[in-house]
Chain A
Amino acid sequence: MTAIEFNNISKQYRLGLVSTQTLSHDLNRWWKMNVQGKEDPYLKIGEVNDRAHKGVSDYVWALKDINFKVEQGDVLGIIGKNGAGKSTLLKILSKVTAPTTGTIKARGRIASLLEVGTGFHPEMTGRENIYLNGAIMGMTKAEITRKLDEIVDFSGVERYIDTPVKRYSSGMTVRLGFAIAAHLDPEILVVDEVLAVGDAEFQKKAIGKMQDVSKGEGRTVLFVSHNMGSVGDLCNNAIILSNGLISNRGNVKEIIDLYLSSVNNIELSRTWNDIECAPGNNIIKIKRVCSVDSQKKPVLYSLTSEKIGIYIEYEVLKNTSYFTHGINVYTTSDLHLLSSHDNNVYQNDSIIEKGVYKTVVWIPSNLLQSGDYLVSFAFMRYNPFNVLLTTDNLLRIQIVDTKKSLSRPENVNEYIPGLIRPKLLWDERIIINQ
C-alpha cells in the first residue's frame, strides 16, 4: 500500500536579499495575476538550481516536478549534494513550508525530526520539556504521561530529569530530544540527519530504534543524510536528488555506489583541451590529471588495500632547464596530509625539450584512510631552488574502505579509526616471564 504520494511537487525560491525589489515584484505579480488575469510572471523564468553557476533569474526551483510513491514500511534514504533539495523536500512534507505547485498525499500521522528538541525551553526541567516538546510534536498530554517512563528510560538522563535543561550537556539535550521523538509512534517518520550528534553508544541506540520502528512496526521512514554508512544501514531504498530533480532511485546499495561515483566525477579526472584555460604558465601547461589503478587505468575510486596512482600529463611549451614534479595531498577539511617531490635527481644539467610529458606518482596501499582527498601539483628546480609552477587543488581522489565496498559487510563496525591507516609490522609475541 502506498504511504506517501508526491505529485509534481515543485518549490521555487527567490535568490538574494528580500529587499525593496520584493515589494515591486509582489505588486507586479499581483497586478499581472489578479488584474490582468495572466500567469505569475516570476514562476516561469525559474531555472535549474545549480548553486555553483550563476544564473540569470532571481528565482530558482529548489525542487522541480518531484513524482514518487513510498510504500508502507519502506525506509527510504534521500541523498544528494548540499543544496540538492533534500531539506526542502522534507520541509514540505512536514508542512513547515508549502510547495509552489503539486500535492502530497499521505496515510497516517507524519512526524518530522528535522531537529531534535525543538522548542525546548532552557529554564524548564527535563520533565516539563518532555511534555512541551511532545505536545509540539503533536502528542496529547495523556499520551505523553503514558510514555513518560519509557522516554526517560530511553534517554538515559533520569538523574537530571528535574533539572532545568540549560544545565544539560548538549549530548544530554539531544538524547532527551531523540527519546521523545522516538516515542511519537507516527505512521510516517521523517528524519533529517539527527543522528550526526550524540556519542557512539547513543547513535547505535538511535539507529536500532529506527530499525525497530520500520521493520518491527511496519512504519514508513524517510531518512536524509550525508552519511552513506547510516543510510546503508537503515534504508532499503534510496533516491538521489540532484539540482532539485530525482536523478536516480532504486535499491540502497546501487544508489549509494552510484552516488559515490557521481560525486567523484566532478574532479575525479580532469582534462584541459583548450590550452588557454589550462592551469600553468608560459613554460608548463597541465593537460590532464586523474587517479589510476595499478594497471594505469583511470579509476573512479581506489580501495584502501590498493596502491593509488596519480597521473599527470603536461605540456612543456619551450625548451627549459631540468625540473621535477611534486604533489600535495590535503584532506577535505584542508589538512595538509603529505607532500611528495620527485627529487631523486638533485643535479641534472640536461634540458627538457618542448613536448607533452606524462608521469605517475604512486601512493602505497594501506596508507591513506578512506575518504576524499584533494591534490595540488608543483613543478620546481633544485639547483638553484626555484618553483616553476604551483597549482590549486586540481584533483579529487576518493578512497573507499575495502570492507565497505565489498557486497554487504557483515560487521560494519570494523572501521579502523585514525587519520591514516597504515598496515604496520608487528613482531611475533614472545613470552618474557612465566
Chain B
Amino acid sequence: MEYTTVIKPKNKLFEVDLKEIWQYRDLFSMFVKRDIITQYKQTILGPTWFFIQPALTTIMYMVVFGGIAKIPTDGLPQPMFYLAGIVCWQYFADCLNKTSNTFTVNQGIFGKVYFPRLIVPMSVIASNLMRMGIQLLLFIVVYIYYLIIGVQVAPNVYVLLLPLLVIMLAGLSLGFGIIISSMTTKYRDLTILFSFIVQLWMYATPIIYPLSTMSPEKQWIMAINPVTSIVETFRYGTMGVGTFSWGMLAYSFGFMVVLLVIGIVVFNKVQRSFMDTV
C-alpha cells in the first residue's frame, strides 16, 4: 500500500487541494445547516428578524438621509431605492464580517482537528445567501406594492445579471474576508481597524445616494470600489434607473478573480501554522 498522507513543513504557493475540499462537501452542507438553524434558536420572532432588520434600516435611512439630508434617490420611491442598496450591502457586509474572523473564532475547532479550513468561510457565504434571498423577497413585495399603486418602474434585460451580481458579492466578500482573517492571526490591530473600515466603506458605495448625482469623472473614481458597479447594476436591472457600464462591471469581476486567487493562496499558507500565532 502506498503512503496516502504526507505531512510537510510548507506547501507550495499554489498548492490548493480542491479535491480535498470536494471530499469534505458534506461538512460544507452541515456547516451551512448549522448556521441557518442556530441563528434564531430561542428567539420569539425567529426568522422574522430577516425581515425586521432590513425594514427598520430602510425606515431609518428614509428619515435620516431621505428626510433630513434630502439626498435624491434617482426619482425612485425611497423605500425601493434604499432597500435595493441594503439587500446588496447587507449581504456583502455580513459575509465580510463573518469571514474576516474565521481563524480567531474557530481556533477551538481548528486547534483540535484538521479539515480544509476554506470550508468554513465558504459555508458562511452560502448560509448568508438564504438570508439575502429572504430580503430579496421583501424587496419584491415592496416592488409589487409600488407597481400596484402606479409608480412607473420596470425591470429590464439586465435583471438577468442578478445571479452574476450575487456571485460577485460573494466572491469579493470571501476574498477580502479570508485575506483579513489570515492577517489578523498575528496582528490583531487589523480587527479594530477593519470593523470601522466596513462602516465607512458603505458610504463609499452608492447605498444611500445614487451614483448619478456625481459627474462622470467622479463616477469613475467611485467605481474603483468594486462594490459600486454591483449595486448600481442591481438598481438598473431591477428598476431601470441608475448607472450601468459594462466596463465598470468587468473591472469589478476582474478585481474579484484576482482577489480570490490572492486570498486563497494567503489563506492556504496561513492555515498551516496559524495555531502557533493566533
Contacts and interface: CB of A to CB of B under 8 A. Distances in A.
Interface of A: 1, 5, 13-14, 18, 22-23, 26, 91-110, 112, 114-115, 118-119, 121, 123-124, 128, 131-132, 135-141, 164
Contact of B113 (A22, A92, A112, A128): A112
B115 interface: yes
B7 A123 contact: no
A378 B276 CA distance: 46
Given A124-B37, A132-B30, A140-B26, A96 B4 contact: no
Interface residues of B, number: 37
B275 interface: yes
Contacts of B34: 121, 124, 128, 132
B113 A136 contact: yes
Contact of A123 (B1, B24, B38, B186): B38
Given A123-B41, A136-B27, A96 B112 contact: yes
A97 B109 contact: no
A65 to B, nearest CB: 14
Contacts, number: 115
Given A102-B9, A132-B34, A141-B26, A97 B273 contact: yes
A151 B14 CA distance: 39
B110 interface: yes
B9 A91 contact: no
Contacts of B6: 103-106
Interface of B: 1-10, 24, 26-27, 29-31, 33-34, 37-38, 41-42, 108-115, 186-187, 272-273, 275-277
A99 B6 CA distance: 12
Given A97-B273, A124-B38, A118 B113 contact: yes
Contacts of A109: 4-5
A254 B7 CA distance: 31
Contacts of B31: 132
Given A96-B110, A104-B7, A22 B186 contact: yes
B27 A96 contact: no
A23 B188 CA distance: 12
A53 to B, nearest CB: 22
14 contacts: A22-B277, A91-B275, A93-B7, A97-B276, A99-B7, A99-B9, A101-B9, A103-B9, A105-B3, A107-B5, A108-B1, A110-B5, A114-B113, A131-B30
B141 to A, nearest CB: 30
A5 B109 CA distance: 26
A132 B3 CA distance: 28
Nearest to A139: B26
Given A18-B186, A105-B5, A124-B37, A96 B114 contact: yes
B16 to A, nearest CB: 15
A100 B9 contact: yes
A309 B277 CA distance: 49
A92 B4 contact: no
A107 B114 contact: no
B273 A98 contact: yes
B44 to A, nearest CB: 15
B151 to A, nearest CB: 43
Given A107-B3, A124-B37, A136-B27, 18 more contacts: A1-B1, A18-B277, A22-B187, A95-B114, A96-B112, A97-B275, A101-B9, A107-B1, A107-B5, A112-B114, A114-B112, A118-B108, A123-B41, A132-B30, A132-B34, A135-B26, A135-B27, A136-B113
A164 B37 CA distance: 12
Contacts of B10: 98
B115 A136 contact: yes
Contacts of A123: 37-38, 41-42
